[in-house]
Amino acid sequence: MAEVKTREKRILWIISIPMALLALSAVYPVFFAINAALKTRKGYVLDRFGLTTDPTFANFAQAWNQSRLSEYFTNSVVVTVGAVLVLLVVASMAGFALAILRFRGRKIIFVAILVSLMIPVQVVLVPFYRTMIGLHLVDSRPGLIIAYTAFFLPFSVYLMTAFYARLPRELFEAAQIDGANLLKVWWHIMLPMGKPALLTLGILNTLYCWNDVLISLLVLQDQRTLMVGIAALRGEYTTNVPLLAAGICLAAAPIVILYVIFQRQIVNGIAVGAVKG
Amino acid sequence: MTQTLTATDAKRRKAAAAHADPGSRSVERFAYLFVLPALALVVVFRIIPLIWGFGYSFTNYDGMSTPRFVGLDNYVGIAHDPVFLDSLVNMLILLATLPIWIGLPLVLAILIHQGVPGGKLFRAVYFFPAVLSSVIVGAIFNVLLRYDGSFNLFLKAMGFSAVDWLGNSSTALFSLIAVQLWSTFGMSLLIFIAGLSTVSAEMLEAAKLDGAKLLQTWWHIVIPSIRPIIEFAAVVTTIGMLTSMFGLIYVLTAGGPGTSTILPEFLIWLEQGKMNRPGYASAISMVLFLLMAGLAAIQIRIMSRNADI
């Protein structure tokens, strides 16, 4: 028996070598981008792959200032923060009502919100765009915030409803007897109790909003979010790879930091969404 | 003392009952007010546009003059449109690679679950590309896959010849698929690891005592016991293939060369950009929606069947 165990261990050790190579491939592109961003244009042409010897930050400065990435960065921050806040408030309100309160049409409304998961933006691209024009929401940051909320909301509502439905009802009933009105119950009990789910949703929705390109391309015209800006930079500077790489690093940095800090929540959020969904 | 308690209890129960009562007007009004923002957003920006687009797809609307009903003309039109047909073929090729999208993360998940050295680290690293925007991934790979890029350098070092991966219509689609697979397989990996944690350890031990080989226990015990999870991942991955490739196509290949990397979702974008035939673009949208609805039906069937077990 022990012999089988050691043999199995040895096999696993051997297998871990190709797995480590695959892991290297998963981080290589980001390493390549950082390394290229630290080279001068000439330095990159002379040696594209070697480790940079005298790093320069000029590309970052140029991307940030001359290529208007600072402006796009601000747009992305405003829109992402705005959309995530609206998403959390709206999803928590809906989750509270759907999970705890009793009212006619509750099931139908829940199903309607879930069914809209099956309507991705591509399917409604034309009429959605016309709706945005009709409501004067095109080319405005509030418009993009509303669009993100509309498209990322169903999963959030589903998760908040499922989370609140698992809370003990006594919590809610006790608050009722103390004479608190429902708005206060939501504010003082539901929001604080929902913190774990709200945190997961906040992080996941931050990823979705920050990384989006399609909805942003559609809604904004004169203004750009960071990802649309990077896509444009890719088209404009095909030969100036260090500048493009610097832009890529600036655009990815917030997400990489977020992943390092909240890795557990992100990983669990994906898994919970999958297994429970 | 006992009596006071009972009285409080009764009061409590009564209060609770008042809430369970659907006739409680103020609660109902409050509840409607609280679901209204979510419902309004979903209805205004998704459900009504879907119905609207369905209507468009039967008209010759050009964005300006009054739309006229033309029956199935748009659908007949797209059925004869070589670009649309190319996009369908590309989509079928993409869908045919599904076994790799499931098999690769499944094998890796089982290995990590079995305790490969460094498993936790592998999990975190494999998932890392999935948090990056497809724009970031696409922009980097656009450089790496160039004729003079890292990948060809690597191939040459291994003794192979260089290939213009993105500029060649016979390799561009496979490059696109490979990059998307590389950047998203961590998602399915997480799903499988979560599923595997529910497989009972005793069952595995018992099988081992019976002398079953490692691969036998995988095939006969581990994989069947997470079958619902595998089916779920297959549906989610397929939905992703139909609707999450836009960003990568937009940055990596822009649909080219020619039509070799145009998928239906990208074609809808190209068509809507022309602005003068929303009816035509809507017809393509409806085809995509039908595919999505079919997948949803499968998903619901899987979920309800699993609930029956």
If asked whether residues B189 and B111 sit together in one domain, one would say yes
Q: Do A147 and B292 touch (CB under 8 A)?
A: no
Asked which of A72-76, A148-152, B1-5 is least confident by mean pLDDT, the reply is B1-5
- Quote the pLDDT of residue B211: 66
Query: What is the three-class DSSP state of B21?
Result: coil
For residue B164, give the nearest of B184, B146, B137 by alpha carbon.
B146
Cα separation of the two ends of chain B:
49
Q: Is B274 inside a domain boundary?
A: no
Rounded CA-CA distance A49/B241 in Å is 32
- Test the A interface: residue of B42, B61, B302 with most A CBs within 10 Å: B42
For residue B34, give the nearest of A92, A15, A206, A225 by alpha carbon.
A92
Rounded CA-CA distance B127/A160 in Å is 25
Q: Is A68 left (phi over 0), alpha (psi -120 to 50) or beta?
A: left
Residue A220 pLDDT greater than 80, yes or no? yes
For residue A267, give the nearest of B245, B230, B131 by alpha carbon.
B131
Instruction: Please state the separation of Cα A52 from the chain's center in Å.
Output: 32
Q: Is B192 inside a domain boundary?
A: yes
- Quote the pLDDT of residue B141: 94
Q: Is B286 inside a domain boundary?
A: no
If asked whether residues B69 and B182 sit together in one domain, one would say no
Query: What is the three-class DSSP state of A172?
Result: helix
Q: Do A102 and B140 touch (CB under 8 A)?
A: no
For residue A147, give the nearest of A160, A128, A164 by alpha carbon.
A128
If asked whether residues B159 and B45 sit together in one domain, one would say no
Q: Are A163 and A268 in contact (CB under 8 A)?
A: no
Q: What dihedral do alpha carbons A232, A233, A236, A240 form, nearest 10°?
A: -160
Residue B12: which of A96, A173, A227 has the nearest Cβ? A173
- Quote the pLDDT of residue B23: 46
If asked whether residues B35 and B160 sit together in one domain, one would say no
Q: Is B57 inside a domain boundary?
A: yes
For B22-63, how does the pLDDT look when each residue is reduced to its tens digit (9 = 90+)? Answer: 447 788 888 999 999 999 999 999 999 999 999 989 988 877
If asked whether residues B137 and B215 sit together in one domain, one would say yes
Q: What dihedral do alpha carbons B308, B189, A154, A192 form, nearest 10°?
A: 100
If asked whether residues B255 and B109 sit together in one domain, one would say yes
Arithmetic mean of pLDDT, A208-220: 94
Query: Exposed, middle or buried by CB within 10 Å (0-12, 13-18, 19+), for B157?
Result: exposed
**CATH code where residue B245 lies:** 1.10.3720.10
Q: Is B216 inside a domain boundary?
A: yes
Number of structural domains (chain B) is 2
| Residue A96 forms contact with B (CB below 8 Å) | yes
Q: Do B116 and A12 touch (CB under 8 A)?
A: yes
Residues of B within 8 A of A142 (CB-CB) are none
For A156-188, how does the pLDDT look when each residue is reduced to its tens digit (9 = 90+)? Answer: 998 899 889 888 887 777 766 665 688 888 888
What percent of chain A clears pLDDT 70, i.e. is strictly above it? 94
The domains of chain A are located at 2-58, 70-236
Question: Across the A/B interface, how many CB contacts are shorter than 8 Å?
Answer: 303
- Test the A interface: residue of B24, B45, B147 with most A CBs within 10 Å: B45
Rounded CA-CA distance B260/B65 in Å is 34
Mean pLDDT of chain A: 87
If asked whether residues B236 and B101 sit together in one domain, one would say yes
Residues of B within 8 A of A4 (CB-CB) are 208
Residue B54's contacts (CB-CB under 8 Å, 6 or more residues apart) are: B282, B286
Domain hosting B36: range is: 22-75
Q: Is B297 inside a domain boundary?
A: no
If asked whether residues B212 and B122 sit together in one domain, one would say yes
- Quote the pLDDT of residue B139: 93
- Quote the pLDDT of residue A2: 55
Domain boundary among B237, B262, B287: B262
- Quote the pLDDT of residue B9: 55
Residues of A within 8 A of B118 (CB-CB) are 16, 19-20
Q: Rounded to the nearest 5°, which phi and psi values hold at A184?
A: -70, -35
Q: Is B284 inside a domain boundary?
A: no
If asked whether residues B122 and B237 sit together in one domain, one would say yes
Q: Is B87 inside a domain boundary?
A: no
Structure-model confidence comparison of residues A206 and A53, the more confident one: A206
- Quote the pLDDT of residue B198: 80
Q: Scanning every residue of chain B, which has its alpha carbon at the shortest distance from the alpha carbon of A170?
A: B16
- Quote the pLDDT of residue B260: 94
For B269-286, how does the pLDDT look when each residue is reduced to its tens digit (9 = 90+)? Answer: 998 877 678 888 899 999
Rounded CA-CA distance B283/B83 in Å is 14
Residue A238 pLDDT greater than 50, yes or no? yes
Q: Do B247 and A210 touch (CB under 8 A)?
A: no
Q: Do B42 and A150 touch (CB under 8 A)?
A: yes
The CATH architecture assigned to A70-236 reads Orthogonal Bundle (1.10)
If asked whether residues B61 and B103 sit together in one domain, one would say no
- Quote the pLDDT of residue B21: 46
- Determine how many CB atoms are found less than 10 A away from the CB of residue B287: 20
Sites in chain B below the pLDDT cut of 70: 1-23, 207-212, 275, 303-309
For A2-54, how does the pLDDT look when each residue is reduced to its tens digit (9 = 90+)? Answer: 566 677 788 888 888 999 999 999 999 999 999 999 988 888 888 878 888 78
Q: Scanning every residue of chain A, which has its alpha carbon at the shortest distance from the alpha carbon of B143?
A: A241
β-pair partners for B59? B69
Measured in angstroms, the CA of A197 and the nearest CA of chain B are apart by 17
Q: Is B258 left (phi over 0), alpha (psi -120 to 50) or beta?
A: left
If asked whether residues B114 and B238 sit together in one domain, one would say yes
Q: Do A150 and B44 touch (CB under 8 A)?
A: yes
Residue B49: which of A93, A128, A177 has the nearest Cβ? A128
